[in-house]
């Protein structure tokens, strides 16, 4: 319904720089994931867009118009707060109905739409409860329903599903995405769930210490992280340090590793990242494939994680993490000598 442009925005709390010259375009109708470590400024950014705080420098436009002077209530933005901020004096129904009520929606229409929204978040029947009579996850869902029910032109969701169990969360994700598609609300959401970010978003922005470190389509960021931080933050990554050498890297022990793209100038220090699930664990006497990269290592820990096994293997003085899907084959045990194998295309050169 409306694009959002953030241009060179900075925000100070006292002398602490919570946002530092951030510029992002949120395309009209897009579904935008915002990631970043705790305290990196995600909430702060959302608050600026919603109009609760004002940037110390920079500009924000919504639907192509600068909103510096537009008060929050005129921006037509649905925001879901990390702390929920439910109205304690109102029932669940009234909380959700609030955005419609202030828009003078007809009573029958309100009842219908609130009913729909509560069904969507699976809270039908709790209409009359007060927030303090709800469980944590129920509160979060009320907050979500409240933010979307009136179809704002921009939806800001601050960790909307963090208190929900997996099953419910997946259900909500699907619904969220469906609604967002149907109505075309520009949505910006903060999440700490990698999978959620990757599956839901059209684009992802990664914040760190108030700066935008990378921005792009999920697969792009996942497959081609620009920095070691992005690589380890979104998904897991094993980092190998070495010196550039032709189309590969020479590691400390002198072994060569081939990379997807040629790493910068010769002999320069470079870091390359390999995702643990791209690595295959084979017995130490497995076949050596001349094309692939390969390390001989020892399993130091084998951790059961439901649908997968996580192996920590020691190689030199580094621990390499490998994720192997659980297909029921006998797992390797700690102490086993193994060989780790992966393709050069999975070896991405990143900035340290």
Ligand X SMILES: Nc1ncnc2c1ncn2[C@@H]1O[C@H](COP(=O)(O)OP(=O)(O)OP(=O)(O)O)[C@@H](O)[C@H]1O
* Residues near a second copy (CB under 8 A): 13, 35-39, 42-44, 82-83, 133-138, 140-141, 158-159, 162-169, 192, 194-195, 198-199, 218-219, 222, 232-236, 275-278, 280, 303-308, 310, 323-328, 342-343, 345-346
**CA 311, CA 299: separation in Å to the nearest integer?**
7
234 binds other proteins (CB under 8 A): no
Cα 82 off chain centre by: 15
304 binds other proteins (CB under 8 A): no
93 binds other proteins (CB under 8 A): no
Among 33, 36, 55, 160, binds ligand X (CB under 6 A): 36
- Do residues 45 and 32 lie in contact, with contact meaning Cβ atoms separated by under 8 Å? no
**CA 233, CA 199: separation in Å to the nearest integer?**
16
* Cβ neighbours around 150 below 10 Å, total: 20
**Pairing label, strands 203-208, 211-216:** antiparallel
**CA 19, CA 210: separation in Å to the nearest integer?**
4
* Cβ neighbours around 291 below 10 Å, total: 8
State the minimum distance, in angstroms, from the CB of residue 89 to other proteins. Answer: 4
Among 20, 29, 90, 126, binds other proteins (CB under 8 A): 90
Q: What are phi and psi of 174, to 5 degrees?
A: -60, -45
83 binds ligand X (CB under 6 A): no
- Do residues 34 and 207 lie in contact, with contact meaning Cβ atoms separated by under 8 Å? yes
Among 89, 287, 290, 291, binds other proteins (CB under 8 A): 89
16 binds, among ligand X, Mg ion, other proteins, none (CB under 5 to 8 A by kind): ligand X
Among 50, 120, 123, 134, binds ligand X (CB under 6 A): 134
Q: Which helix (H) or strand (E) holds 146?
A: helix 136-148
**CA 294, CA 285: separation in Å to the nearest integer?**
12
Binding site for ligand X (CB under 6 A): 13, 16, 18, 36, 38-44, 82, 133-138, 163
Binding site for Mg ion (CB under 5 A): 43, 82, 135-136
Binding site for other proteins (CB under 8 A): 11-13, 47, 50-57, 68-69, 71-79, 81, 83, 85-90, 98-99, 101-103, 130, 132-133, 146-147, 150, 152, 156
């Amino acid at each position: 319904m409306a694009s959002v442009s953030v241009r060179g925005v900075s925000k100070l709390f006292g002398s602490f720089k919570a946002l530092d010259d951030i510029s992002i375009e949120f395309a009209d109708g897009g579904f935008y994931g915002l990631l970043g470590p705790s305290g990196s400024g995600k909430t702060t950014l959302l608050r600026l867009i919603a109009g609760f705080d004002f940037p110390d420098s920079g500009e924000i436009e919504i639907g192509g118009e600068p909103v510096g002077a537009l008060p929050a209530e005129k921006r037509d933005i649905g925001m879901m707060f990390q702390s929920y901020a439910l109205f304690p004096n109102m029932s669940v129904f009234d909380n959700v109905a609030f955005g419609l009520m202030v828009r003078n929606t007809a009573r029958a229409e309100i009842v219908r739409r609130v009913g729909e929204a509560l069904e969507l978040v699976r809270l039908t029947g709790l209409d009359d409860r007060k927030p303090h009579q709800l469980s944590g996850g129920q509160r979060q869902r009320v907050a979500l329903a409240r933010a979307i029910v009136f179809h704002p032109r921009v939806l800001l969701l601050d960790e909307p599903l963090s208190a929900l169990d997996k099953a419910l969360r997946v259900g909500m994700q699907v619904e969220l995405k469906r609604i967002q598609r149907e109505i075309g609300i520009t949505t910006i959401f903060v999440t700490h769930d990698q999978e959620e970010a990757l599956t839901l978003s059209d684009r992802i922005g990664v914040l760190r210490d108030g700066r935008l470190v990378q921005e792009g389509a999920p697969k792009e960021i996942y497959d081609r992280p620009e920095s070691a931080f992005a690589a380890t933050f979104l998904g897991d990554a094993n980092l190998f340090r070495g010196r550039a050498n032709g189309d590969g890297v020479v590691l400390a022990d002198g072994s060569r590793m081939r990379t997807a793209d040629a790493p910068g100038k010769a002999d320069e220090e470079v870091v390359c990242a390999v995702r643990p699930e791209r690595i295959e664990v084979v017995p130490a006497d497995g076949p050596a494939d001349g094309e692939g990269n390969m390390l001989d290592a020892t399993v130091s820990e084998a951790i059961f994680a439901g649908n997968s096994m996580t192996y920590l293997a020691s190689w030199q003085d580094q621990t390499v993490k490998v994720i192997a899907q659980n297909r029921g084959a006998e797992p390797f045990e700690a102490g086993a000598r193994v060989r780790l194998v992966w393709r050069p295309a999975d070896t991405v050169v990143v900035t340290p």
